[in-house]
Amino acid sequence: MTLQSTLDHLLQRVEAQPLLFAPKLSRLALQGLALAAAPRQNMRVNVWRNHAVENVLNLAEPYFAFAGIGTQSHVGHYDDSLSFADYQPADIELLWLDSERYLSASSVADWAGWLSERLAALRAVSGAPVVLATWAPAESDGAAVLQAAADACPGAYFADLSALCAEAAINLTDKRTAAMAGTPLANAAQLLIARKLACHWLPGAALPPIKAVVLDLDHTLHAGVLGEEGIQGVTIADGYGDLQQAMAKLRERGIFLALASRNERADVEALFAERADYPLRWEHFSVTEVSWDAKAEAIRRIAAALRIAPDAMLFVDDNPGELASVQTELPGLHTVHAGADPHLTELAIAWYPGLWRWRVEADDAKRVQDLQANAQRAALLSGANDAGSYFRSLQVQLDFYIDPAQQLSRAADLCKKTNQFNLALRRFNEAEVAQHMAAPSSCVATVHMRDRLADSGSIAVLVAERSGAVLRVEELCISCRAMGRQLEDTVVLGALAAMPLLEGCDEVAFVVRHGPRNQPALDWLGKLLGLPGQPAEGEHRLPAATVRAFTPDANLTLTYDKTRL
């Protein structure tokens, strides 16, 4: 797209943003939006329902368009039995159920038991994530029962419509309009559910996550221009302080924060040093790019420092022209306009698809601290005489786990998020990882890393399948946070050696696929196999004896989950 066409599209989004993310939504305003379609990612949705969903899907469309998500929905016929007739492959399965149709003749416990059976039947034909969107009577413990039913099915999530509406203090149902609308959901509830569905529930289950928020400074994190008003002249009144607090909470959840400001660096450092009333501190930013360089160049450097791609970042700036210019240079970058009302900016960020998570894992919170420790690790590596002294000074420990059910979500998360050290790019989801854990001919290994500077958490997953005398590695992912520590051989070969399925194998086969950013994984395999360059797409074999003979550095501490070996 040209700069002008990008600017035109972005101005449409800027105008729509206050309507989409207003505290009180207007059906008329949403229906009047006509955002130009420019999808950067697509999502096929199967809808299995027993009440009307069309109105909610129509209300959700502007949100999908705002985030550049193209959707294709296959809406099934009304079917209380959930027979899943006319199944079509999809990226996500949505169960859209009116609970009152079932609970008029059944208890919550009996209905949840039946739902568990139907979820298992759906899982037998689909490995896609499942979102169960329904509700239980407020006076019962039905929500907990339905949550347990969803938790028992790998890759299934319970979208509690009642809890969503109760939090917003609006009625979930309206009996007066039910017959005509084909659903008991009240009009106001439909608006709220549509936004939640489009911005959180569906993207949170099926799309790659946003890992970092890049923030401008002037008229974004405070009112005023630092270079003109000075350190004491800029203010965080009228909502800017709340916006900063919201950003600090994102960081606590493992979302990187970065600063990209066109200012004098000394002035910005002095601002954060002297303004004790700022909720955000200088150290909250994992990367700071403060210069007069073009913002696109600054964001490229931020992406490199964080070891992520621009399409995993959300850029927030008050200047539409700046947003358009950066998006022209970095088409995959996500953007939000920082308008005159910081409360609306805060809401737009909070609702932006890709930032919300169904589950916040313990490893997510470790991500920010682990990156901060990387600078110290790099200094130790540059000053070390050899790898052994480096490992010894860091006190590196690797923990290997085989088929760890308690790490299912994290293993799937690594498959979905990892781009650079991802050899096969299979992107296994929770259901698929669970199937490999359970199958006697498959094995899943995860690797946990820690050292004296930080606990990195689970940093690698390998999924392998035995066929005759060959152990085939279907998925191999190492988090970008763990790269550059000279541990790739130990992580991969150590995990393979720990797999019981390796016994009796003659060869290990690596499945290879080329992607836009997985050169580090390709380079590693090429070196391991002694190739002159990167391996071609396809399958590449290594003698199993090479894996068995590999000896990790004596300065590393390795532990194994012996209960599963």
pLDDT at 454: 86
Q: Do domains 37-206 and 212-351 have the same CATH topology?
A: yes
Class of domain 212-351: alpha beta
Q: Residue 349 and residue 388: Cα distance in Å, rounded?
A: 45
| Strands (DSSP E) found in 271-390 | 287-290, 313-317, 334-337
Per-residue confidence (pLDDT) for residue 367, from 0 to 100: 77
How high is the mean pLDDT in each 10-residue block of the chain (565 residues)?
A: 76 92 93 83 96 96 94 95 95 97 92 96 95 89 93 95 96 92 95 98 94 97 96 95 97 94 96 96 96 96 92 96 92 95 97 92 74 78 79 90 92 90 94 94 95 90 97 95 86 96 96 93 95 95 96 93 53
- Whole-model pTM? 0.88
Q: What are the residue ranges spanned by the domains of the chain? A: 37-206, 212-351, 387-564
* Distance separating alpha carbons of residues 438 and 287, to the nearest angstrom: 41
Instruction: Specify the pLDDT at position 4.
Output: 77
| Cβ–Cβ < 8 Å for 509, 472 | yes
Q: Under CATH, which number does the domain 387-564 receive? A: 3.40.630.30
Specify the pLDDT at position 346: 97
Q: Taking the mean position of all CA atoms in its chain, how far away is CA 512? A: 24
Q: Are 11 and 320 in contact (CB under 8 A)?
A: yes
CA distance 401 to 562: 8
User: How confident is the model at residue 563, as a pLDDT?
Assistant: 46
Q: What is the pLDDT of residue 1?
A: 60
Cα angle: 129, vertex 481, 281; to 5 degrees = 100
303 residue type, one letter: A
**Domain 37-206 maps to which CATH number in 3.40.50.720, 3.30.70.1380, 3.40.50.1110, 3.40.640.10?**
3.40.50.1110
| 304-347 confidence digits (pLDDT tens) | 999 899 999 999 999 998 999 999 999 899 999 999 999 999 99
